[in-house]
Structure 1
C-alpha cells in the first residue's frame, strides 16, 4: 500500500490497483479523485476499472479529473479544490505517481497564502518531491494560474 496522508482529510497515491482499493477502504477512505488520463500508459487500468474495484471495496464516491502537470491551469486547481470540498472525507487523490494530485493541492494552498516553500515541504512529507515546481508555485502565489 502506498497511500500517504497529505493534509487533514486528504491522501495521495500513485496508480491504484485492486489491492489498493481494498486498502483504501480499510483506511476509511470515503471518496476518490483520479487525476490520471486514461490511456497514459499501456499497462494502466482505465478509470472505469478502478471505479469498479473501489465500488467492490465499498467506495462509491469517485471523480475523474484527468490533468497533465505542465498544463495544469487555474480552472483545474479550482475544480480539484471543489471536488475535495464537496466530497465525503477522507478523500484519496491519485495519478501515476501522486505528483499531479499533490501539485493541484499545492496550487490551491499557495493561492491562499501558504508560501511555495512550505507547500513543497508539506508535500515532501507525503513522499512527493515538488521542488522542480517551486518556481511555478511561487508565480501562482503572486500572479495566480492562467485560467486555460
Structure 2
C-alpha cells in the first residue's frame, strides 16, 4: 500500500486488497472509503468484498464510486460526511487521485486554495485541472 497523508485524519491510497484492511485497522484507521467503481475491477475487490473486509476489521465503510469526470455535489457531500470526525480515515481508488480530488473539493472554502493545491502536490497529485472548480466552490461558500 502506498498511503499518502492529506490531513491528520485522512490518508489516500491506490487500490487495496481485502487482506490489507485488517492491517489498516491495526494501524489505527477507523473508516474505509471506497471511491473505486465496481465496473473498473473484478469481483474479488468489489464494494461487497471490501465492505465485508471492513466489517470484519471493525471499520466503518462507505462505498462512494467516483466515475472519472463525473463529480457531483452529492458525491462531494457524501465524501465530506464519510470523512468527518469518526477517526482516522483511509480513502482509495485506482491511484488515490480521485480521492484527493474529492478531499480538495470538500475543503474548498474551508482552507485557502493554495494550501489545498500544495497539499495535493506534496502527496503526488496534480489538481491543476480541478483548480477552477475548487475556486468556484470556495466562492459559493463565502
Q: Taking structure 2 as the reference length, what is the TM-score of the superposition?
A: 0.84
1:92 is matched with which residue?
Answer: 90
Contact 1:29–1:59 (CA<8 Å) still a contact in 2?
no
CA change 1:139–1:44 in 2 (3 A) is farther
TM-score calculated relative to the size of structure 1: 0.81
8 A Cα contact 2:79 2:102, kept in partner = yes
Query: Which ranges of structure 1 fall in alignment gaps of 5 or more residues?
Result: none
Query: For this pair of structures, how many residues does the alignment match?
Result: 141
The answer to whether 1:6 aligns with 2:6 is: yes
Note the C-alpha offset of 1:66: 0.7
Q: Deviations over 1:92-113 (max 9, x none)?
A: 1111111111111101212335
Kindly indicate whether residue 130 of structure 2 is the aligned counterpart of residue 133 of structure 1.
Answer: yes
Contact 2:18–2:49 (CA under 8 A) maintained in structure 1: no
CA distance in 2, matches of 1:4, 1:67: 19
Aligned position for 1:121: 118
Matches of 2:126 and 2:23 in 1, distance apart? 24
Task: Describe the superposition over 1:88-131 as per-residue Cα deviations: whole angstroms up to 9, x where unpaired.
Answer: 2101111111111111110121233522x321111122222222
Distance 1:2 1:20 in 2: 11
Task: Spell out, residue by residue over 1:18-45, the C-alpha distance to the aligned partner (whole angstroms, 9 max, x if none).
Answer: 4432431232111101111112145872
Tell whether the 8 Å contact from 1:35 to 1:95 is kept in structure 2 after alignment.
yes
Shifted more, 14-23 versus 93-102: the winner is 14-23
RMSD (Å) for aligned C-alpha atoms: 2.2
Contact 1:3 1:11 in 2 (8 A): yes
Distance in 2, Cα, partners of 1:113 & 1:61: 26
- Unaligned runs of 5+ residues in structure 2 are none
